[in-house]
Structures are given as C-alpha cells and as structure tokens.
Amino acid sequence: MRRYGWRLGAIIIVGLLAMLLVYAAAVKSTVDITSTNLKVYRDGLVHVEQKLLIDEFSPQVSVTLLSDKVENLVILDDEELTVDYQLTDKNLVIYSLGAKELSVEYDVNALTSKENEVWTLILNTPYSLNVSFPINSTIIYLNNTPTAINTSGNQLSLCLSAGEWEVSYLLQLIAGGEDSLIPIIEHQTSGWVPVEWLIAISVAFVATIIVGFLAFKRKRKPNIKKALNANPQLMKEDKAVLEFLAEKDGKAFEAEIRERFPEMPRTSLWRLIKRLEKLEIVEVKKVGLENQVILKK
C-alpha cells in the first residue's frame, strides 16, 4: 500500500508540473505586437512606440526591447493608466492582469552613431517595424532590402522585417535662406547708388521694424486666469506650462515645451499635458509627426 501511495503521489506531482509548463507556455504566447514604430530625430535620439494585444487573464507578459539602454519608459493600459513592470537588460516583464491592450514607449540613444556627416542606425529586431527618419534625410546604405518604402513630403519611412539592420543616412540642410540674397547684393554693388536712396531705405526699414514690434506688443495674449481660477488644484508645474503657452500665443509644439523645461523628465511632461487635456484646459492636435498643445478658449 505504501509503495502504491508513493507512485500515486509521484504521478500527481508530475501531472502538476506538466500543467504548470503548459500554463507558462500559454502565458508567453498571449502577446501579440500589433505595431512597432520608430521615430529617428536629427540628434540621433530614437523614440520607440509599441502597441500590444494581450490576454486579460494573463498575470504578466514579456517583451524584448530594442536596447538594454532605454530612457523615459512608459507603459499604459487601454484606459491610459500606468502599469507596473520589471526591466532586466532587454527583457521587459509587464504585470498586465486585467488589461487587453498595452502601449509601450521609450527613448534610445544607443541605436545610432555618427561618423563625419554620416549617421548610421543599427538594429537587431525580433519583430518587423516601421522607421521614420528626419525630414530631408537621404539613405546612402542598406544592408538588406526593406519590405516597403514610404515617402510623404520630405519624410522618409522604411518598413523593416525581423533581423539585423544597418541603415546609413545623411541629413540635408534646408535650401534657400542666405543664398537667395546673393543676386540682390551683387546687383546693388554693381553700380553707384545715391546716398539719399540708402538713407531713405534705412529709415523705412527701421520704421517698419518699430511698427511691427509695437503691433506685436499690442497683440492680445491668451488669458489663463479663468482656467487657473476654475482649477485651484493645479500644481506649480502645470501653471508654468500654461504661462508658457500663453507667451506662445496659446499654442506650442511638445518639443518646444520640452526645450523650455529641460529639467522636467519627458514622462512627467507627457503626464502633465495629459492631465491638462483631461481637465479640458488644453487640447492636443497632431501636426505632421508632432504633437501641438493648444490652449482652449
């Protein structure tokens, strides 16, 4: 009887272990990465956005990041609430029980390098993705053939399959500007110009600048007092961002706000803007590939 009981116990233990292995395999297979988008900035920073579909009954899911040196990592569920996680090197474990969709965003500086005027993006990706390069970029080398190439205006995007990629590109300067003044200067210096003309042109130029400056000063700026009085719970950082928007005639790009408040982490600023948007103090519009924050009247 004892021997029979021992065998029965061993069979039960083996069965439980098998069930645990099957469950673990099921949990790993519940992640479906619907999209991965990379935006490369002119300074080499790469912003990564991923959309995930998951099993709401899974206690956690694992995702492989594109680098082990990430910054400003933000994970939101389908209700735009932050989700707990654990990060070890490239392995991201998200405690997602109850969530059906996840949004993962982070910044990476380690994916690009620059030699002389040539920038190079190096990727080892386990999944297909879309890469948007800075405006007026020119691709000069690809180690493989992308699945698709999209050009919209001056914006170049590549669809890359899973695997190792090396993409070299150049950043072109915007044409125009100073070069357009050369013919005028040459024309003016090719002959004698009366001194009276020069004086009259100088006076008219200065007067135009003064009138324009006074008109700009008289221009009515947005009033944020109503929003501040209606929302006494706003923090010091909230008020500072609203004052900056008022100085910018009621609207500014998110990149301009980050530049104005460099001491504020990207994730904190992103949550601040979302908070003001929920309070219906500002609205966020997509202008090209950038977010524009606008004060509501």
Q: Could you tell me if residue 120 is inside a domain? A: yes
Of the pLDDT bands very low, low, confident and very high (cuts 50, 70, 90), residue 5 is low
Taking 80 as the threshold, does the pLDDT of residue 54 lie above it? Answer: yes
Of the pLDDT bands very low, low, confident and very high (cuts 50, 70, 90), residue 225 is confident
User: How far apart are the C-alpha atoms of 39 and 134, rounded to whole Å?
Assistant: 8
Residue 3 vs residues 9, 10, 151, 152: alpha-carbon distances, Å: 10, 11, 74, 75
State residue 264's pLDDT score: 87
State residue 267's pLDDT score: 86
Of the pLDDT bands very low, low, confident and very high (cuts 50, 70, 90), residue 289 is confident
Tokens of 89: 């090197």
Q: Phi first, then psi: what are they for 158, rounded to 5°?
A: -120, 140
How many of the other CB atoms lie within 10 Å of CB of 230? 11
Kindly state the average pLDDT of the residues 34-58. Answer: 93
Question: Is the separation of the CB atoms in 125 and 90 below 8 Å?
Answer: no
- 163 and 185, same domain (yes or no): no
- 287 and 241, same domain (yes or no): yes
- 144 and 36, same domain (yes or no): yes
User: How far apart are the C-alpha atoms of 17 and 162, rounded to whole Å?
Assistant: 34
User: How far apart are the C-alpha atoms of 97 and 60, rounded to whole Å?
Assistant: 6
- 158 and 182, same domain (yes or no): no
Kindly state the average pLDDT of the residues 56-77. Answer: 92
- 102 and 153, same domain (yes or no): yes
Threshold 0.75, pTM exceeds: no
Which residues sit opposite 76 in a β-bridge? 82, 103
- Amino acid making up residue 103: S
CATH of the domain at 237: 1.10.10.10
- 52 and 113, same domain (yes or no): yes
- 290 and 234, same domain (yes or no): yes
Q: Could you tell me if residue 200 is inside a domain? A: yes
- 236 and 257, same domain (yes or no): yes
The domain total for the chain is 3
- 193 and 231, same domain (yes or no): no
What stretch of H or E contains 1? none
Range of the domain at 59: 32-171
- 167 and 183, same domain (yes or no): no
- 69 and 154, same domain (yes or no): yes
Closest CA to 171 of 30, 39, 42: 42
Within 78-159, residue ranges assigned H as helices are: none
* Crossing angle for the helix pair 236-247 and 266-278, to the nearest 10 degrees: 80
Tokens of 45: 């920073």
Phi/psi region, residue 221 (left: phi>0; alpha: psi -120 to 50; beta: rest), is beta
- 201 and 261, same domain (yes or no): no
Q: Could you tell me if residue 291 is inside a domain? A: yes
Question: Is the separation of the CB atoms in 129 and 39 below 8 Å?
Answer: no
State residue 26's pLDDT score: 45
For 180-213, what is each residue's pLDDT tens digit? 333 333 334 444 445 555 566 766 777 777 766 5
For 3-12, 49-58, 180-189, 245-254, which range has the lowest pLDDT when averaged over its residues?
Answer: 180-189
For 89-127, what is each residue's pLDDT tens digit? 999 999 988 889 999 999 999 999 999 889 999 999 999
Q: What is the DSSP letter of 282?
A: E
Residue 50 vs residues 29, 47, 66, 126, 129: alpha-carbon distances, Å: 17, 10, 11, 13, 9
